[in-house]
Structure 1
Amino acid sequence: MSETDFSRFDAKTPNDRTVMHVLYGLHTIAWASMGTLAVIALIVNYVKRGEEQDALYLSHHNYMIRTFWWTILALVVASPLWLLFLLPGAAAYTLIGLWYLYRCIRGWLRFADGKLA
């Protein structure tokens, strides 16, 4: 039976935590850039996730990625409401935006507490 070589796992540094906080911050204020900051954060999430071995960090990268793609799907599904009338489209997009904000804040708080996403 082989033993696990724990020396190959990198210890998490304060810089790693800072990167996660910045990513959550970018996702949270993405509305101010019409989503550009979320796309930048998404790319970093994918890059960092590929080299991640810590379960906590991996779960939060996956959480942010899922939140982004589910939001895009909801926006695409709700987009025909804009063609019908202005109010239903605006209401749908507002609800989707609030849901996205809730997911970002919830994940960020769970990360700050050291809990899985």
Structure 2
Amino acid sequence: MRDDIVTIEPDEGLRTWGWVSYLLHLVVAVAAVLPGAQVSIALLVVALVIDLVKKGDAANTWQASHFSWRIRSVVWAGVLYLLTSWLWLLFIIPGWIAWGLISIWFLYRIVKGMMRMNAGLSVETA
């Protein structure tokens, strides 16, 4: 555990918001991995907004790492999807493979975060 983080137990409302966000991310992540499953990008935007708004409330708690983890996961996945989107235009199969790998990586990060939060642990100490 890092010495510069004060371990203050967040209120249950903050923990609930964290679970809501993780569940929204999970729905999007699972749908991204399953062929033919489609969900609205609006779910991801709602989850991202929750994380951005509530991140400040989680400052100096073990929950803070979870809000940052989810935000970074969405940003990195978005950047990776954009960087590989040209593959869809030129080569269908490599585009499908690249996006599949990104989707699996995103799902892994969400599941890992959920498991750490369920254990009451910071996600970045894993």
Return the TM-score normalized by structure 2. 0.78
Deviations 1:50-87 (A, max 9, x none): 23234211110000000000000000011011112211
Shift of 1:11: 5.4
Counterparts of 2:90 and 2:25, CA distance in 1? 30
1:45 and 2:54 correspond? no
Name the structure, 1 or 2, with higher relative contact order (CA <8 Å, separation 6+): 2
Structure 2 match to 1:24: 22
- Residue aligned with 1:56, SS: coil
* Partners of 2:17 and 2:50 within 8 A in 1: no
1:112 and 2:110 correspond? no
Unaligned runs of 5+ in 2: 1-7, 32-37
Equivalent position amino acid for 1:76 in 2? L
Shift of 1:16: 2.5
Counterparts of 1:55 and 1:69, CA distance in 2? 22
Larger helix percent: 1
Structure 2 match to 1:3: none
Counterparts of 2:40 and 2:100, CA distance in 1? 13
Deviations 1:9-38 (A, max 9, x none): x85333332221111000111244242211
Matches within 5 A, 1:1-117: 12-30=10-28, 31=31, 32-117=38-123
User: What is the aligned-residue identity percentage?
Assistant: 33
Equivalent position amino acid for 1:42 in 2? L
Counterparts of 2:42 and 2:109, CA distance in 1? 18
Return the TM-score normalized by structure 1. 0.83
Q: Aligned-residue CA RMSD in angstroms?
A: 1.6
Moved over 4 A (4+): none
Shift of 1:101: 0.5
Q: Which one has a bigger Cα radius of gyration? A: 1
Residues matched between the structures, number: 108
